[in-house]
């Protein structure tokens, strides 16, 4: 079962367990807080206790950790230690809506962002089976009644905007960044912000949950048909000129989520008049996070920084 999950999410060979511990906790100095004050909406039966594990396989010569069975979603605030640009980014780790690559596509991203004066909010959203997306295999929508990961994302962006003054954030410079399935959730957040998918809980839910900018890295679940070049209908139907400026990046040799995911989304955004910048590389595979290798694609953080300056989010 573990190997099947890893092949689905990351296409890493021979993925086994090396270490395991209950739950997940951030490093000292960073407080993890529940995003829901009471009952979690659309709660699903827990598949088991929340567990953090270390995979046997490595990325760029180093192991990576993942979290599974998240039933109580949380957010962890990472504030800049020095200069503060006022910009905030909510980060969605990937994992096929089955697990969360919590360091490779989570805490390591926050280390990069905070070093650039950007507040990072790491969302530990509900998994497994929590995404509302279209599957090629059945040509049907998966989990249409309980898109719990998207509920968690909507709630978190609203919370960040609600606490903007307290956390020294510009409420008009709050973006989202995600990898793989998290990249799909970036697209979902960019197109599903006019109405919450859950009943309002408190004043934070009165705040807009529209991201001001969006970064999707090797996204999945956007291209839905092996024979046709079509965008996921759930995303396509909601793209408007209000969809936020978007940055896309993917490798052509990505054997988990085809590069067509980025291509089809890029075209739909352009047709709607949404500013979009896309970078495609010949090599890179899938799930490389921020870990640098000899491949040029792993220099993508600098591309994002340049783009943020181009759209006026940070100084050039």
- The whole domain housing 43 covers 2-310
Q: Please state, in angstroms and rounded to a whole number, the distance separating the CA atoms of residues 204 and 162.
A: 5
Residue 102 lies in a domain: yes
Q: Please state, in angstroms and rounded to a whole number, the distance separating the CA atoms of residues 187 and 273.
A: 15
Per-residue model confidence (pLDDT) at position 135? 53
What is the pairing mode between strands 174-179 and 213-217? parallel
Residue 184 lies in a domain: yes
Query: What CATH number corresponds to the domain at position 138?
Result: 3.40.50.1820
Q: 89-109 pLDDT, tens per residue?
A: 999 999 999 999 999 999 999
Task: List 178's β-bridge partners, or say none.
Answer: 92, 216
Residue 134 lies in a domain: yes
Q: How many domains does the chain have?
A: 1
Residue 315 lies in a domain: no
Q: Please state, in angstroms and rounded to a whole number, the distance separating the CA atoms of residues 152 and 48.
A: 19
User: Which residues contact residue 307 at a Cβ distance below 8 angstroms, ignoring those fewer than 6 apart?
Assistant: 247, 277
Per-residue model confidence (pLDDT) at position 228? 83
Q: Does the pLDDT at position 196 exceed 80?
A: yes
Q: 5-30 pLDDT, tens per residue?
A: 333 344 333 334 445 678 899 999 99
Per-residue model confidence (pLDDT) at position 10? 42
| Sign of the torsion angle spanned by Cα atoms 233, 234, 239, 243 | negative
Please calculate the CA angle 48-52-54 and round it to the nearest 5 degrees: 130
Residue 68 to residues 9, 125, 184, 224, 298: CA-CA distances in angstroms? 12, 10, 19, 26, 26
Per-residue model confidence (pLDDT) at position 19? 59
User: Which residues contact residue 284 at a Cβ distance below 8 angstroms, ignoring those fewer than 6 apart?
Assistant: 218, 250, 251, 253, 254, 295, 297, 298
Residue 105 to residues 112, 145, 202, 275, 290: CA-CA distances in angstroms? 11, 27, 30, 25, 8
Give one DSSP letter per residue of 70-124, joined into a string. B-S-EEEEE--SS---S-EEEEE--STTTEE-TIIIIIHHHHHHHHTT-EEEEEE
Residue 316 lies in a domain: no
What is the phi/psi pair of residue 123, to 5°? -95, 120
When computed from its CA atoms, the radius of gyration of the chain, rounded to whole angstroms, is 18
Where does the pLDDT of residue 35 fall: very low under 50, low under 70, confident under 90, or very high at 90 and above? very high
What is the pLDDT of the chain when averaged over all its residues?
Answer: 90
Please calculate the CA angle 155-151-114 and round it to the nearest 5 degrees: 50
Per-residue model confidence (pLDDT) at position 139? 55
* Residue 147 contacts residue 116 (beta carbons within 8 Å): no
Give one DSSP letter per residue of 165-190, joined into a string. TTTT--TT-EEEEEETHHHHHHHHHH
Residue 6 lies in a domain: yes
Per-residue model confidence (pLDDT) at position 6? 39
Residue 259 to residues 59, 190, 255: CA-CA distances in angstroms? 20, 20, 9
């Amino acid at each position: 079962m573990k190997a099947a999950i890893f092949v689905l999410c990351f296409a890493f060979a021979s993925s086994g367990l090396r270490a395991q511990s209950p739950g997940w906790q951030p490093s000292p100095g960073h407080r993890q807080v529940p995003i829901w004050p009471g009952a979690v909406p659309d709660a699903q039966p827990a598949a088991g206790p929340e567990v953090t594990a270390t995979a046997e396989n490595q990325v760029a010569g180093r192991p990576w950790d993942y979290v599974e069975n998240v039933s109580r979603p949380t957010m962890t605030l990472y504030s800049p230690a020095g200069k503060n640009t006022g910009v905030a980014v909510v980060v969605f780790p990937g994992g096929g809506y089955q697990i969360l690559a919590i360091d490779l596509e989570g805490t390591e991203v926050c280390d990069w962002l905070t070093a650039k004066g950007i507040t990072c909010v790491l969302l530990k959203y509900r998994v497994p089976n929590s995404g509302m997306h279209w599957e090629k295999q059945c040509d049907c929508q998966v989990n249409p009644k309980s898109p719990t990961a998207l509920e968690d994302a909507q709630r978190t962006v609203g919370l960040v905007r609600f606490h903007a003054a307290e956390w020294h954030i510009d409420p008009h410079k709050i973006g989202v960044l995600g990898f793989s399935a998290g990249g799909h959730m970036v697209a979902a957040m960019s197109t599903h912000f006019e109405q919450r998918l859950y009943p309002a809980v408190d004043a934070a839910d009165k705040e807009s949950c529209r991201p001001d900018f969006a970064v999707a890295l090797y996204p999945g679940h956007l291209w839905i048909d092996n024979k046709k070049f079509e965008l996921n209908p759930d995303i396509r139907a909601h793209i408007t000129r209000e969809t936020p400026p978007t940055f896309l990046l993917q490798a052509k040799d990505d054997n988990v989520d085809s590069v067509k995911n980025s291509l089809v989304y890029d075209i739909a955004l352009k047709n709607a008049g949404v500013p979009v910048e896309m970078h495609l590389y010949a090599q890179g595979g899938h799930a490389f996070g921020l870990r640098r290798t000899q491949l040029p694609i792993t220099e993508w953080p600098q591309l994002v920084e340049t783009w943020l300056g181009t759209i006026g989010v940070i100084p050039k």
